[in-house]
Amino acid sequence: MTEVTPLSVVVLAAGAGKRMRSPLPKVLQPLAGRPLLSHVLQCADALRPDAIHVVYGHGGEAVRARFADVASLRWVEQAERLGTGHAVAQAIPEIADHHRVLVLCGDVPLLQPDTLEALLSGSAQGVGVLTVELPDATGYGRIVRDAAGRVTAIVEERDADEATRALREINTGVIAAPAARLRGWLSRLRNDNAQGEYYLTDIIAMAVAEGMPVVGIRAGDADEVAGINTRQQLADAETALRRRAARMLMAQGAILADPARIDVRGEVTVGQDVFLDANVTLEGRVELGDGVRVGPNVVLRDVTLGAGTEVHPFSLLEGVSCGTHCQLGPYARVRPGSQLADRVKIGNFVEVKNSRLADGAKANHLSYVGDAEVGRDVNIGAGTITCNYDGANKHRTVIGDGAFIGSGVELVAPVEIGAGATIGAGSTIAKDAPAGQLTLARTRQTTLRHWQRPTKKRPDPGP
Ligand code: UD1
Ligand code: CA
């Protein structure tokens, strides 16, 4: 058995992100609905490290506050921003000698755990640098290799001569090194360079000078290691993430009308032959069973849909669990706490909130069903409203199996409709209605025989 070396991750997040032109610190800028830093932390977490240290900058309390609920993070303040080497030096006193240190950047959000695993396993005996080849390497530190292809140094652009600048393999900023050696190198960093900073990248030449192997691992995908400095890059990352999410959905068996027009901002699992039309937005936890069809311009947020269920265009569902073969929308709004069993129909302009609808229940048109318990095969007619709120408290409406509620009915809760009851159209039902019978609550229709429609008065011709 080989001993597994414990891992400490250091995430550099002290940058102000001036180029974002935003009061929000850069690592808190949202990508797919959550901060950049949260993507980096999620990736780091997948490596099961011993500890994650986040280096945050002066004035970066908002960053710390945003992640206050993640108790496992260790926060290290870098009071002055003196360079990436200085930033890592703030965290290194917290890390034991026998650990490996993996340095990540808080503004490189698309990294994947597999890539980091490859870097760690490929450089287990020494220092590892994640690199990538770019068509345009402007602004980055260049990877210098010797004739045998071994990495010998990283040279920052501003310190590079013309030949070095011509190199296209760059440092992504992700570096792995053994803690004890790193501690020594960091203590010997100097800032006599073009930017007057303590460069983390200078440890590479130090390691080489000490005969320690330095391995440059190339990332396959330039998107994955792209750093975010500007709004444009943030938008590009969003696009890249969308493409990645679309690929994952298709790999699971989804059919996408247009892979470029789907937004995934959460954890989505799909069964086979799920069809997602254009401009579908999936947020939070979404589970779609086999054969589910989702029409265009639908938003699903924390939703489970059983096999064969269809959601028609322009519907918004949040916090909903739905059984099989249901029909929802178009223009359905189903709000949190709603549980729909199998074969339920929620039609156009119907709002459902915090209600349970049993198998085969239907509300096809223009209704509000709130805080209700709706039995099997109940039919709720057009324009029916549960009056669940008395201005202070919410009350429940209970409708028994097989009841038929006519159109335009007001059910004033708390109220119970018995199984198999029929409620006449236009009724205002404020008392319980018995099972199996017709209940009506409306004034009898009358016709006034000799009534005449008023006519407009002639204007007074005056004296
Ligand atoms: C750094 C690398 C460069 C690499 C590039 C990749 C160095 C010296 N250079 O350059 O080789 O190609 O990243 O994007 O490491 N940070 C701190 N404290 C500091 C300075 C930086 O926390 O004092 C953080 C930043 O917030 C950022 C990361 O470190 O997340 C990188 O810093 P940045 O200033 O962007 O470095 P570059 O000059 O771009
Ligand atoms: Ca940068």
Starting at the earlier edge strand, list the strands of the sheet with 310-311: 254-256, 274-276, 293-294, 310-311, 327-328, 345-348, 362-365, 379-380, 404-405, 422-423, 438-439
Residue 451 lies in a domain: no
Same domain, yes or no, for 163 and 89? yes
The domain of 349 spans 244-439
Instruction: Say how many Å lie between the CA of residue 163 and the centre of ligand 1.
Output: 22
DSSP secondary structure letter of residue 152: E
Tokens standing for residue 192: 């006599």
Measured by CA distance, the residue closest to atom 25 of ligand 1 is: 15
Same domain, yes or no, for 255 and 402? yes
pLDDT (tens digit per residue) in 380-392:
999 999 999 999 9
Ligand nearest to the CA of 141: 1
Our answer on whether the CB atom of 83 is closer than 6 Å to any ligand 1 atom is yes
Same domain, yes or no, for 270 and 398? yes
Residues 6+ positions from 17 with CB-CB distance below 8 Å: 25, 26, 27, 29, 107, 229
Ligand nearest to the CA of 83: 1
Q: Encode 383-400 in three state secondary structure.
A: CCEEECECCCCECCEEEC
CATH number of the domain to which 342 belongs: 2.160.10.10
Residue 448 lies in a domain: no
Q: CA angle, 33 as apex, 31 and 35 as ends, to 5°?
A: 55
**pLDDT in 10s for each residue of the chain, 463 residues:** 456 899 999 999 998 788 888 889 999 999 988 999 999 999 999 999 999 999 999 778 999 999 999 999 999 999 999 999 999 999 999 999 999 999 999 999 999 999 999 999 999 989 999 999 999 999 999 999 999 999 999 999 999 999 999 999 999 999 999 999 999 999 999 999 999 999 999 999 999 999 999 999 999 889 899 999 999 999 999 999 989 999 999 999 999 999 999 999 888 999 999 999 999 999 999 999 999 999 999 999 999 999 999 999 999 999 999 999 999 999 999 999 999 999 999 999 999 999 999 999 999 999 999 999 999 999 999 999 999 999 999 999 999 999 999 999 999 999 999 999 999 999 999 999 999 999 999 999 999 999 999 999 888 877 7
Residue 48 lies in a domain: yes
Same domain, yes or no, for 105 and 148? yes
Same domain, yes or no, for 67 and 160? yes
Same domain, yes or no, for 312 and 370? yes
Instruction: Say how many Å lie between the CA of residue 39 and the centre of ligand 2.
Output: 17
Residue 447 lies in a domain: no
| 457 burial type by CB count under 10 A (0-12 exposed, 13-18 middle, 19+ buried) | exposed
Same domain, yes or no, for 169 and 249? no
For 271, half-sphere exposure in the C-beta direction (CA atoms, 13 angstrom radius) is 15
154 CA closest ligand 1 atom index: 11
Our answer on whether the CB atom of 14 is closer than 6 Å to any ligand 1 atom is yes
Q: Count of H helices and E strands in the chain? A: 8, 37
Same domain, yes or no, for 46 and 192? yes
Same domain, yes or no, for 217 and 255? no
Chain centre to alpha carbon of residue 390: 36
Q: What letter represents residue 184's amino acid?
A: G
Our answer on whether the CB atom of 155 is closer than 6 Å to any ligand 1 atom is no
Same domain, yes or no, for 175 and 261? no
- Own/partner long-range contacts of 157-161 (Cβ < 8 Å, ≥24 apart): 158/193, 158/194, 158/195, 159/193, 159/194
Our answer on whether the CB atom of 141 is closer than 6 Å to any ligand 1 atom is yes
Residue 461 lies in a domain: no
Instruction: Say how many Å lie between the CA of residue 227 and the centre of ligand 2.
Output: 6
**Which of 39, 84, 142 most suits a substitution to test ligand 1, by most atoms within 8 Å of the C-beta?**
84
Residue 459 lies in a domain: no
CATH number of the domain to which 47 belongs: 3.90.550.10
16 CA closest ligand 1 atom index: 26
CB atoms within 10 A of CB 79: 9
82 CA closest ligand 1 atom index: 23
pLDDT (tens digit per residue) in 58-116:
778 999 999 999 999 999 999 999 999 999 999 999 999 999 999 999 999 999 999 99
Our answer on whether the CB atom of 81 is closer than 6 Å to any ligand 1 atom is yes
Which residues form the catalytic set? 365
Residues 6+ positions from 307 with CB-CB distance below 8 Å: 271, 289, 290, 291, 292, 324, 325
**How far apart, in whole angstroms, are the C-alpha atoms of residue 287 and residue 293?**
12
Same domain, yes or no, for 335 and 412? yes
Residue 462 lies in a domain: no
- Cα–Cα nearest to 29, from 238, 221, 245: 238
87 CA closest ligand 1 atom index: 18
- What domain count does the chain have? 2
Our answer on whether the CB atom of 170 is closer than 6 Å to any ligand 1 atom is yes
- Cα–Cα nearest to 102, from 153, 152, 172: 172
Instruction: Say how many Å lie between the CA of residue 82 and the centre of ligand 2.
Output: 14
Output the pTM of the full model: 0.80
CB atoms within 10 A of CB 54: 28
Our answer on whether the CB atom of 156 is closer than 6 Å to any ligand 1 atom is yes
Residue 119 lies in a domain: yes
Measured by CA distance, the residue closest to atom 11 of ligand 1 is: 141
Same domain, yes or no, for 249 and 207? no
Ligand nearest to the CA of 111: 1
- Asked if residues 15 and 87 have their Cβ atoms less than 8 Å apart, the reply is no
Our answer on whether the CB atom of 131 is closer than 6 Å to any ligand 1 atom is no
